[in-house]
Amino acid sequence: MMKIILGFILLIEVYIFFILRSVYSNNQFIIAISIQLGVALLTIISLIYTSSSLGHGLSQTTKAINLMMGLFVTFGVAKLVFVSVIFFEDVARFVGYVFSFFSSNNSVDFPSRRKAVTQIGLGISAIPFASFLYGMFKTRYDFKVFQTRLTLKNLPDSFEGLRIVQFSDFHAGSLDDYKAIEVGVNKIQELQPDLILFTGDLVNNTSEEFDKFIPLLKGLSAKHGKFSIMGNHDYGLYFNWQTEEDQFDNEKKIRAHHSAIGFDLLENKGRIIETEGDRINLIGVENWGRPPFPPKGDLDKALEDVVPDSITILMSHDPHHWEDVVIPHRQHIDLTLSGHTHGMQMGIELPGFKWSPVSLRYKRWAGLYEEKNQFLYVNRGFGHIGFPGRVGIKPEITLIELTKND
């Protein structure tokens, strides 16, 4: 894989070299190629450094690793945007040449690249470059509270105004600023939650990633308790374990972390939340996902613990579970809470409009959805993984207030 990536980078750099050579004079070319070579060297160093540092898979990172990884992605995206602009011009040049060749009796020269188009390409590529840098240094830990008031007609009176705070995808191994995380966790508590629900991916891979955060999350409290589920990363599936026993031991330690911070880990089981004689069901399943993610979740088993004809809230990490299993299931589930997508940590969110590249894979990737009088809320993620930043999609803390009144 490393050879393929390096080969692709080399191909892009060679293409950029010929672009610069064709549009700039000698002195301008020397300056431009010096900048290109400097950026290329930094890109390759970033790739090699992060790969060697994370040789066993993406796990515990440091500020240096995150910086290098972020620069690799930032420069890479900017270069892809730049060469895409020039490539379209090159295609247009070729088509124009072919058309002129067959429609003229005279010899036709292949049209040269236009310097203005190259400069336009550089200007366009500066937009994602600046955006990704901003996402790395400004919005990565800019936790935003997304608040939703959800109407459930059969909600018991005593649960009117129930405040559910959800967070998801902590990804402890990627977090390199403890004080910033402390601010985010404090925001959770400041919402005065009745229920705190964590919907999976406590770590990237290994249990040790989370050790330093135990005292921080242990301090969270909620009137009706704290509950959690496992996500796909919590099973250590993306790490090169020496033995299966090591992987199993790591999984046991991650489960123990939930207990250590006072969260009731629901693995294909449920709990009854009761107040003033009224009850609602809270159930959680192990991770259920489409390939390559493991379909461990067992909704039927979790539903064995529910009180019939009561509000049922499901925690399920992957939103595909709602689409593939929950909606067609014979048992009505009022609200499903998921995470997993992170909103791809990049996208556009405007009033009345939102888009992210992750929407190409996940139809429901952020926010509230409804179908057949059943609701799904997809959290955008508290932490991050891979690219150490957030571009247009801020890290999320969700506050859902339940009501029976429109």
Whether the per-residue pLDDT at 40 is higher than 80: the answer is no
What's the confidence (pLDDT) of residue 59? 58
Do 225 and 111 share a structural domain? no
Do 66 and 202 share a structural domain? no
Do 199 and 127 share a structural domain? no
CATH label of the domain that carries residue 200: 3.60.21.10
Q: 137, 172, 192: which is the final residue of a domain?
A: 137
Whether the per-residue pLDDT at 260 is higher than 60: the answer is yes
What's the confidence (pLDDT) of residue 56? 43
What's the confidence (pLDDT) of residue 335? 98
Considering only CA atoms, which of 395, 10, 321, 11 is closest in space to residue 170? 395
**Cβ partners under 8 Å of residue 329, min gap 6:** 299
Number of domains in the chain: 2
**Cβ partners under 8 Å of residue 312, min gap 6:** 280, 281, 282, 283, 303, 306, 331, 332, 333, 334, 335
N-term to C-term CA, the chain: 54
Distance CA 377, CA 365 (A): 9
Do 182 and 86 share a structural domain? no
Considering only CA atoms, which of 383, 396, 394, 387 is closest in space to residue 170? 383
Whether the per-residue pLDDT at 52 is higher than 60: the answer is no
Do 321 and 174 share a structural domain? yes
Considering only CA atoms, which of 371, 392, 372, 161 is closest in space to residue 380? 392
**Cβ partners under 8 Å of residue 297, min gap 6:** 268, 285, 286, 287, 288, 316, 321, 325
Do 274 and 201 share a structural domain? yes
pLDDT digits (tens, 9 = 90+) for 76-135: 899 899 999 999 999 988 888 888 878 776 777 788 888 899 899 999 999 999 999 999
Q: What domain range includes position 77? A: 2-137
Cα–Cα distance list, 288 to 80, 229, 293, 304, 340 (Å): 34, 11, 7, 18, 11
Do 276 and 307 share a structural domain? yes
Q: 210 falls in which pLDDT band (50, 70, 90)?
A: very high
Distance CA 217, CA 51 (A): 30
Distance CA 338, CA 197 (A): 10
Q: 137, 166, 193: which is the final residue of a domain?
A: 137
Do 215 and 199 share a structural domain? yes
Do 127 and 191 share a structural domain? no
The answer to whether the beta carbons of residues 5 and 11 sit under 8 Å apart is no
Whether the per-residue pLDDT at 33 is higher than 90: the answer is no
SS3 266: coil
Do 148 and 113 share a structural domain? no
Do 361 and 247 share a structural domain? yes
Query: One-letter amino acid identity for 403?
Result: T
Q: 105, 137, 169: which is the final residue of a domain?
A: 137
Do 239 and 216 share a structural domain? yes
What's the confidence (pLDDT) of residue 288? 97
